[in-house]
Amino acid sequence: MTLEPAVHPRITNTCSVGKPGAGPYGIAGGPDGALWITLIHSGAIARLSDDQCTIYELDSPACRPAQITTGPDGALWFTRSGDDSIGRLSATGAQSSFALPADTTPFGIAVGPDGALWYTAVGTNKLGRLATDGAIEELSLPAERAMPSMLTTDHDGAVWCTLNQAHALARATPDGQLTIHPLPNESARPVGITATDDAVYYTDIARAMAGRVSPDGQTTELPLPDPNARPHAIIASADGGVWLTEWGTSRVAHLTPQGDLTELALPPASEPHGLARGTDEAIWVASETGHVIRIAP
């Protein structure tokens, strides 16, 4: 493990996004090469390109956009955790939204192998599927109050999500077959999740760990040095490893496929949440305190 000094030279750009208190949270690369960021506290989406930031105010300031992804139609799709709906924003700024059942509280979102938008329903304990024409299907999760959180799609075409309150992961095939993968420790509180070519990785926010699930279902826990790290988001890296945010300690960390760890310190009190890879393989971090931070490749 290598701990880099505070505000490492690889942090080459820190951009202020939105008005004070807007809360940059989720982040994704768009089909136009720009970065798209949810502003969870102000009900808006930001587009960042070449240091130019455009803010798209949504139709409800209280909609609380959380996670965001590029859809199969080239638009940006995002969960509106405050008003039980999924939002759509075209690359030119055209807005629409799709209402979900009451009390859904959607959070995670990802494109499935079937071209639909899959989402987690925190409020109703379900895994949902939204077709681009608005058709909705939902799968009930077997564990009561499992709190499904973030989503990813693996190389076999299955959708995985973390079950934060059930110390488990869920795997769903496009035809609706659901499998629960318990984690080794009942104190685990998984949040972020991503897939590489040969494994699924997740973050355990309560126990300051990352975890790796191999194709045969074996779980390996990878502790972080600081017990206060509170790891949150996680994405695959270009070398087959992963990057993750340490929300509690204002760091990002990189894990190689062999399990070697490097941590980079961000500006103090950054509250890093979302992560995205840029077109040049730089890593971008959404900081809830008001910035988007670039880490050079």
Tokens 């940059």 found at = 24
The residue whose two tokens read 């990352």 is 210
pLDDT at site 9: 62
Q: What is the pLDDT of residues 198-244, one digit of tens each?
A: 999 999 999 999 999 999 899 999 999 999 999 999 999 999 999 99
| Mean pLDDT taken over the chain | 92
Looking at residue 51, which CATH number applies to its domain?
2.130.10.10
* Residue 261 pLDDT class (50, 70, 90 cuts): very high
Cβ atoms of residues 141 and 126 within 8 Å: yes
In the beta sheet, which residues pair with residue 109? 119
Among the residue ranges 13-22, 157-166, 206-215, 257-266, the one predicted with the least confidence is 13-22
Burial code (b: 16+ CB inside 10 Å, e: under 16) for 256-293 equals eeeeebbbbbbeeebbbbbbbbbeeeebbbbbbebbbb
Close Cβ partners of 130 (under 8 Å, ≥ 6 residues apart): 86, 98, 100, 116, 117, 118, 119, 136
20 pLDDT above the threshold of 90: no
Q: What whole-number percentage of the chain has pLDDT above 70?
A: 96
pLDDT the model gives residue 1: 31
Higher pLDDT, 62 or 142: 62
Q: What is the DSSP letter of 18?
A: S
User: Model pTM?
Assistant: 0.93
Pairing of strands 148-153, 136-140: unpaired
CA-closest candidate to residue 56, choices 100, 96, 29: 96
- Residue range(s) defining the domain that contains residue 265: 2-295
Tally the domains of the chain.
Answer: 1
Is residue 150 very low, low, confident or very high in pLDDT (cuts 50, 70, 90)? Answer: very high
Between these two residues, 95 and 175, which has the higher pLDDT value?
95
Q: What percent of the chain has pLDDT over 90?
A: 78
Does residue 128 have a pLDDT over 90?
Answer: yes
Active site residue 273: yes
Question: pLDDT digit string (tens) for 33-47?
Answer: 999 999 999 999 999
Taking CA atoms, 110 is separated from 130, 181, 240, 292, in Å, by 10, 19, 20, 21
CA 153 to CA 129: how far, in whole Å? 13
Average pLDDT over residues 233-260: 95
pLDDT (mean) for 166-184: 93
Cβ-based neighbour number of residue 232 at 10 Å: 21
pLDDT over 80 (residue 181): yes
Question: Could you give phi then psi for residue 280, rounded to 5 degrees?
Answer: -100, 15
Q: Do 244 and 211 meet the contact criterion of CB atoms below 8 Å apart? A: no
